Structure 1
């Protein structure tokens, strides 16, 4: 599904990623583990097209992502939930969920929404509430659902368990586990992915912008 080879990324004059390579098979759930500042977020942002690759290749089922703009990558079926969630506070939960589909101009918004509600029934319950009325953990759950609205082939979750109460961390892990039967490839990043240990097919470790395995 996703292949990254010898990826180098610099932010300004600082080199962040140094030859990162990883592979995510179709339908696999892969962990990317590293301490803060190790390069996890930059790797996900490079896949999403939010930072530019200076060197190396990224491909999604044969499509060269380095030649595809960020909005084009979303249209290819890549969904991304950043660590800070980035929900729009004054919009309802349902509106937040629909934003990616509206932005892409897709015609199957309602079926996509129903798909999210099937996997995350809490999101339907939260639907009319404004995003700012949710707890941090609830917002994380909604952010996963929002990423699913566009992530029909590859879903990337950055620090999904960070700052989340144990009960909600367990629930997020359950949701991620459900995706195994959807044929969806998933990348989880975190300093500690113990909550997702049971669902991970493979783990990559990164430190100082380089892979350790």
Structure 2
């Protein structure tokens, strides 16, 4: 489904990603493990088109993403949860989730209902302003927004960072549910604490270079 081939990317002439290659098969959950500054966020942003690659190719369902416009990727069913959430503070929870519908002119509300069914707590504070939520609750909302857009692929950048243990566990339960539904997911973490039980394959990233780790999924 998603293939990165020999990607190089620099920011202000500083090399960040170097000869990065990875493959994520349809319906699998893949981990991307690395310390802060290793290149995880840069890789995610490159897939989403927020950063241009200098060399190599990114393909999604045989579409060349590295030549596609950034806004075209949402229409391909790619959802993205950024590390810093990027919610609109004065929007309600539901308005933040609906942003992807408005951007893609999608009128199928079944996807929204699916998200509320999967995360009923989101529905309970759907009318609250995003700015009134805790950091962990905001992560849930950002995940819901990504899930609405990501009918084919979800990119989750450090979803557990800065979240209280109880909400981190809840996030992990939701990601486990996505795995059971055969949605394709790439999730990054700094220390592999939370996602170990649900990932099918793990890549390690260090100083902008990637290596494939052994499959360590727990039974």
Q: Alignment length, in residue pairs?
A: 212
Determine helix, strand or coil for the equivalent of 1:127. Answer: coil
Q: Which residue of structure 2 aligns with residue 183 of structure 1?
A: 182
State the secondary structure of the residue aligned to 1:149.
Answer: helix
Report deviation, 1:41.
0.3
Q: How big is the shift at 1:15?
A: 1.1
Query: In the alignment, which residue of structure 2 is the partner of 1:210?
Result: 209
| Deviation of 1:211 (Å) | 1.0
User: For the residues of structure 2 that align with 1:147 and 1:15, how far apart are their CA atoms?
Assistant: 29
Q: Hey, what does 1:103 align to over in structure 2?
A: 103
Q: Secondary structure at the match of 1:194?
A: coil
Partner of 1:2: 2
CA-based RMSD of the aligned residues comes to 0.9
Unaligned runs of 5+ in 1: none
Residue aligning to 2:148? 149
Q: Return the alpha-carbon distance in structure 2 between the equivalents of residues 84 and 3 of structure 1.
A: 25
1:41 aligns with 41
Q: Which residue of 1 aligns with 2:115?
A: 116
2:194 match: secondary structure: helix
- 1:30 corresponds in structure 2 to 30
Q: Check if 1:61 corresponds to 2:61.
A: yes
**After superposition, what is the alpha-carbon deviation per residue over 1:172-207, rounded to whole angstroms, capped at 9, x for unaligned?**
000000012333110111112311111111110001
Give the distance between the partners of 2:80 and 2:10, measured in 1 at CA: 21
What CA distance in whole angstroms lies between the structure 1 residues aligned with 2:169 and 2:182?
A: 22
Rounded to whole Å, the distance in 2 between the matches of 1:126 and 1:85 is 17
TM-score for the superposition, normalised by structure 1: 0.97
Moved more, 177-186 or 137-146: 177-186
SS of residue in 1 equivalent to 2:110: helix
Q: Find the counterpart in structure 2 of residue 90 from structure 1.
A: 90
Deviation above 4 Å: which 4+ runs of structure 1?
none
**TM-superposed deviation, 1:55:** 0.4
In the superposition, the TM-score normalised over structure 2's length comes to 0.94
What runs of 5+ residues in structure 2 fail to find an aligned partner? 213-219
Q: Which residue of 2 aligns with 1:126?
A: 125
**Alpha-carbon distance, 1:123 to partner:** 0.8
